[in-house]
A and B are shown apart, each in its own frame.
Chain A
Amino acid sequence: MPLEIIEKIEVKRLQIINERGEADPELIPSVSDEEITRCFEAMILARVFNQRALSLQREGRIGTYASILGQEASQVGSARAFSDDDWLFPSFRESGVLVAKGYPMWMLYRYWAGDERGMKCPEGLNIFPMSVPVGTHVPHAMGAAWAMKLKGHRKAAGVYFGDGGSSKGDFHEGLNFAGVFKAPVVFLCQNNQWAISVPRSSQTAAKTIAQKASAHGFEGIQVDGNDVAAVYKATKDALEKAKNNGGPTLIECFTYRLDDHTTSDDASRYRSKEEVEAWRAKEPLLRLRLYLEKIGKWTKGYEESVTKKAEESVDAEIKKAEAFPPPDPADLIRYTYAELTLRQKKEMKESGWGS
């Protein structure tokens, strides 16, 4: 038998608005001007939220925080593509997703200040508590997607993880399962090039993360993660497919973490200033301003008013977060089980909690 090729893999990359703010004329009509404007405003809000979180951490008013600077397009563009019925599974670096979906910002500040109640997702929002362990929520999203399918709902699940997470067993097990069962789930890899100090090149020998979907029998696509229109369209397309029994999609958002891994990290120890500056020139808001200006939707005054509104809103949310009373010590025990066990009742009584 001669050696024959039985499978070929193609990996597509999508970009709609380039770094100069020029839009592809064939692709741009798939994302409305109004949607792009809303994305821009949500990205400003996410950036203000993020900046304030970093300041609060420096002032000792919240704990360790993971900055999203540079990843606003990947987060906002994808989050806005999901409908309110869908379920989202964010990781710890997804403030932009949460803010874009309308998660109460004061709760996020509470969470980062160390309050479990901050992840008590309000009714009406289908957002799963953010996963701090890396990649372990990939199977959860698959499970939720399966629940939707069993219930006959026309919904999908979306799960966010990083380039580091794509090396985990959970990632592969979740993707494999989704492929076998054609589950309605969108896997969103936020490839920000660094998993703390581990570069993308040390994470996998594969050329792209998108191609990892091929081994699990479904499509993966790489998008310019700093192009909000491309991220939005790729996610919308994946959702359309998922909800029509077309199965899962892996979207690799090719972006960059401009800040340190968290406020406890110092990225200058392991990456060059030149690399960071080269990516800073490609950050997502720059091109969006240029594009919106070209279509007559951006002025300096407009951005100033959007920013001012975002700052006022964030300041009010911080005030609300800081005025929120601390939890009752009985909460320590109260929420472990659906009901109190005999031992817990005894511990409550002995400690005088909840009395």
Chain B
Amino acid sequence: MPWTKVYSNKAEFESALSDNRELRGLAYKDALLEATSQLLEADETVFVIGEGIDDSGGVFGSTKGLHLKFGRERVMDSPLAENGITGIAIGAAVAGMRPILVHMRVDFIPLSLDQIINHAAKWRYMFGGKVSVPIVIRSMIGRGWGSAAQHSQSLQSLFTNIPGLKVVMPATPYDAKGLLRASVYDGNPVVFIEHRWLYEHMGHVPSEPYTVPLGKAIIRRTGSDATIVAVSYMVYEAMSAADILKNEGIECEVIDLRTLKPLDAPLILESVSKTGRLVIADTGWKETGIGAEIIARVVEDGFGALKSAPERVNLPEAPTPASPALEKAYYPGKFEIAAAVRRAVNKG
């Protein structure tokens, strides 16, 4: 399928587009905008709420102009109150709405963890299945630009530990559009984490509404020597690493995780049973991160398939720096992933 392909840069995408003019190209931010617009258009229960969602930038372009089209009652620029607006969105969800809540940076979410963890994630269970909280919490992680310790974290692991929540991290424009729609109709609270480096990324996106199922990872590249499981932006770095390694005779299978919770363990196990080697490339920290869970799952259910100890590519155990020199040292990329794969291959 053309839309399952990932393109590392615009030139690569445009070249692919010239081969097939019938396919439409859309940037990740525009795919999110289109998904939201189509939801607002067709479903009166959907509304968008967040701080600054109606500003001229429109949350990196992803909500741009929606307030003009659908009015400020359904595209609500809210007072500064992260916990409060999360609670408000939850209350509206219980009363029959499907709110899309936007926390413009994932770093703002800790203020609303009480509402997310103690309320949204619990109610269906606590009230005997009677109450559901169909809320989507969109948020953004970053990389670079000196955003630093309090504005550029990658906090997905806070949520993957909590039963009752789902965690989605789309890497392509196609998945961004389809997963947003699927999240709105999932019936559970979904934490939907985007990556700021992806907003301008181009890909094939059908113009009609469609869904991409939650809980399903996807193989972006097939290979027989090692499995790289990558999250969000790291999918692109993993694809580049696979190109580097191909020249060395190492064939990598790249899995784009797409949903962190619930985890698509069967697909990972199937791939590792073929390659025998596992590398996880995550945008976040190592300890108790998604890589730890993936390795645990593979060890529990596919220990015999492993030819060597798994490897993880993560951030160093330190907050995000502001200094460009430190940033350069901080973020791993294709070279670190390639090195991790080589280690896995050389070990056995």
Contact = CB atoms under 8 A, between A and B. Distances in A.
A169 B84 contact: yes
B130 A140 contact: no
Contact of A343 (B115, B164, B262): B262
Interface in A114-153: 116-117, 119-121, 128-129, 133, 136-151
B290 to A, nearest CB: 14
A337 B114 contact: no
A139 B90 contact: yes
A147 B81 contact: no
Contacts of B125: 116, 335-336
21 contacts: A89-B91, A119-B127, A121-B127, A133-B114, A136-B119, A139-B83, A139-B90, A140-B88, A140-B119, A143-B95, A143-B97, A143-B99, A144-B94, A146-B92, A147-B96, A150-B92, A169-B81, A173-B87, A181-B76, A336-B125, A341-B215
Contact of A140 (B78, B87, B97): B87
A177 B81 contact: yes
A208 interface: no
B87 A335 contact: no
A147 B135 CA distance: 13
A199 B341 CA distance: 63
Nearest to A146: B92
B73 interface: yes
Given A140-B90, A342-B265, A87 B132 contact: no
A273 to B, nearest CB: 37
| Residue from A120, A337, A342, A343 having most chain B Cβ neighbours under 10 A | A337
Contacts of B47: 150
A258 to B, nearest CB: 30
B37 interface: no
A331 B265 CA distance: 24
Interface in B92-115: 92-97, 99, 114-115
Given A136-B87, A336-B125, 14 more contacts: A121-B130, A129-B127, A136-B119, A139-B83, A139-B90, A140-B90, A143-B97, A146-B88, A148-B95, A169-B83, A177-B79, A337-B164, A337-B166, A343-B262
Given A136-B119, A147-B96, A177 B186 contact: no
Nearest to A149: B73
Contacts of B97: 143, 147, 150
Contacts of A174: 84, 87-88
Interface in B66-81: 73-74, 76, 78-79, 81
A45 to B, nearest CB: 24
Interface in B260-280: 262-263, 265-266
A331 B126 CA distance: 10
B86 interface: yes
Contact of B186 (A87, A172, A335, A338): A338
B109 to A, nearest CB: 15
Contacts of A119: 126-128, 130
B123 interface: yes
Contacts of B44: 150-151
A176 interface: yes
Given A129-B123, A147-B96, A150-B73, A142 B131 contact: no
Interface of B: 44, 47, 73-74, 76, 78-79, 81, 83-97, 99, 114-115, 118-119, 123-132, 163-164, 166, 186-188, 215, 262-263, 265-266
Most chain B CB within a 10 A radius of its CB, from A149, A181, A335: A335
Contact of A337 (B78, B93, B119, B188): B188
A180 interface: yes
Contacts of B215: 341-342
Contacts of B85: 139, 173, 177
Given A139-B84, A169-B83, A338 B91 contact: no
Given A177-B78, A177-B85, A338 B126 contact: no
B126 A176 contact: no
A334 interface: yes
Interface in A328-352: 331, 334-339, 341-343
Contacts of B88: 139-140, 142-143, 146, 174, 177
Most B CB contacts (10 A, CB to CB) among A138, A150, A331, A334 go to A150
Given A129-B123, A336-B163, A341-B262, A87 B81 contact: no
A138 B87 contact: yes
A35 interface: no
Interface string A248-268: 000000000000000000000
B92 A116 contact: no
A180 to B, nearest CB: 6
A170 interface: yes
A87 B74 CA distance: 21
Nearest to A115: B128
Nearest to B124: A335
A137 B186 CA distance: 23
A143 B93 contact: yes
A154 to B, nearest CB: 15
Nearest to A141: B91
Nearest to A118: B128
A144 B114 CA distance: 18
Given A139-B86, A176-B79, A341-B262, A144 B124 contact: no
